[in-house]
Amino acid sequence: MIRTKQYFSHLITCPMRHVIKIITILVAISAIWIGLLQTAVIPNSHTWLLPIYLVVLLGCYGLLMVGVGLMRFPTCPQEAMLLQQDIIEAKEFLKQKGVDFGSD
């Protein structure tokens, strides 16, 4: 468990360009795909479509993440009010101290 964590943190922090990491993963996936084609463990008619499935899956995942994130987007309407109060308080204090910041 700890070794997996260390390996993972090394994966993230080693000085390899990030695009190389992505390419490496793609190459690994391609190798598996070609391997499947060669050995025909799964009927080849299915194997040819696997990359398409993967892309579609990735797309759906992305859309899902965007949708879920959008629904759960944290908002804070009360903060705008609190800010207005803070502004009034600040303006009063600063006026007292003679700071002239002009009209806004």
Partner 1 sequence: MEQRKEEKNKYSIIIPTYNERLNIALIVYLIFKHVRDVEFEIIVVDDGSPDGTQDVVKQLQQVYGEDCILLRPRPKKLGLGTAYIHGLKHASGNFVVIMDADLSHHPKYLPSFIKKQLETGASIVTGTRYAQGGGVHGWNLMRKLTSRGANVLAQTLLWPGVSDLTGSFRLYKKSVLEDIITSVVSKGYVFQMEMIVRASRKGYHIEEVPITFVDRVFGSSKLGGSEIVEYLKGVAYLLVTT
> In the complex, which residues of this chain contact partner 1 (CB under 8 A)?
9, 12-13, 15, 17-19, 22, 62, 65-66, 69-70, 73-77, 79-80, 83, 86-87, 89-91, 93-94, 97-102, 104
Using CB atoms within 10 A of its CB, is residue 36 exposed (0-12), middle (13-18) or buried (19+)? Answer: middle
Supply the minimum distance, in Å, between the C-beta of residue 37 and partner 1: 27
Q: What does each C-alpha distance from 68 to 23, 39, 73 come to in angstroms? A: 28, 40, 8
| Nearer to partner 1 (CB atom), residue 19 or residue 52 | 19
Distance between CA atoms of residues 86 and 61, nearest Å: 42
C-beta separation of 36 from 42 below 8 A? yes
Q: Two tokens at 9?
A: 């943190």
Supply the minimum distance, in Å, between the C-beta of residue 73 and partner 1: 5
| Nearer to partner 1 (CB atom), residue 5 or residue 100 | 100
| Nearer to partner 1 (CB atom), residue 12 or residue 40 | 12
